[in-house]
Amino acid sequence: MAKPRKEKSALRENVESIVIAIILAVIMRQFVVQAFKIPSGSMEETLQIGDHILVNKFLYHFTNPKLSDVIVFKYPWEDKRDFIKRIVALPGDQVEIRNKEVLVNGQSIEEPYVAPDPRRVRPYRFGPLRVPKKGDEVEIRRDKRLYINGEPVAIPNGMFRPDDHGPPLSGFQTFYRALFPNKNLTLDRPVKPFKVDQDYYFTLGDNRNNSKDSRYWGFVKSDRIKGKAFFIYWSWDCRARKFAQHVKCATNFAQHVRWERLGRLLNLTSSSQAIVRQ
C-alpha cells in the first residue's frame, strides 16, 4: 500500500518561492535587464542626474550596437566603473570633431539630442580618428607609424590621462595600444601585421562641454558593452550629500520627483537618431 504524500508546510513553500524569485531576479539582472542610476550630467538633457534607467542586456546578443544608441559599458580603464554615453561612430568609421560639429566619414551629422550651447568656444579640433573593427589588419612599421589595412593612421597629439591614478599617456597608448597583446608597446619597435579580434566604438556624452568620453580615454571594446539604455522608470531631483539634506528631500518628496520623466522611453524614435547632412 502506497504511503500518502506529505503536504509541504507553509514555511517550506514560502522559502522555495523566495529562492526561486531570487534566482530569477539574478538571471534577469545578469542577462536581460539591469537598473542603473545616473550620477553625473554628462548626458544632459537626454539623461539627468537622479534618473533611474533600465538597460537591455539581451539585445546585443542578437544584433550589433547602432549609431546613436545610448549604451552602458565598463570603463575601458577600470573594470569596477560603469559609464553611459552615446555611440557616434561605428567600427571602421573615421570620426572627426571641428568646434561643435561631429563628422563621420567626412560628413557632418545632425544631433538633435545635443542641447544648444550659445556660448562662444575657442577653435577646437579632434581627429580624424580611425575606429578599429574586427578583422582589421594592424601593424607598426619601421617608420614608427601605425598602419591599419596598409594605410597610415593619424594619432592624436598631446598627452592624455584616461586612468585617474595612472601616469599621462600618449595618443597611441590611449587610443590604439589596446589593440596589441603587449600592453607596454610603443611605436619605437615594429610589429608584424595581425588581425583585430573585436569591434570598437567611439562614444560621446550629449553634454559635450561636461563629458569625459572617447575624446579623453579612447574607444569602447565590444565585450565591455553591458547593454542599451531604453527606459526611465524613476527620476529624483535631490542632489543631497549629507544626512540632513536627504531628510529635507524626503519631507518634500513630491516636489523632488520629476513626474514628467517617469516612464519615458529612450532612443526609440527617428528624432533620436543621428542624421547625416548631405
Cα within 13 Å of Cα(238), Cβ side: 21
And the C-alpha cell for 239? Answer: 542632489
Catalytic residue among 3, 37, 42, 235: 42
CA distances from residue 132 to 11, 89, 99, 163, 196 in whole angstroms, order as listed: 56, 10, 24, 21, 8
Instruction: Note if 85 is an active site residue.
Output: yes
CA distances from residue 249 to 49, 97, 242, 255, 256 in whole angstroms, order as listed: 15, 41, 11, 8, 7
And the C-alpha cell for 41? Answer: 550630467
Q: Which residue has the cell 538571471?
A: 27
How long a stretch of residues is the chain? 278
Catalytic residue among 57, 85, 226, 228: 85
Instruction: Note if 272 is an active site residue.
Output: no
Active site residues: 42, 85
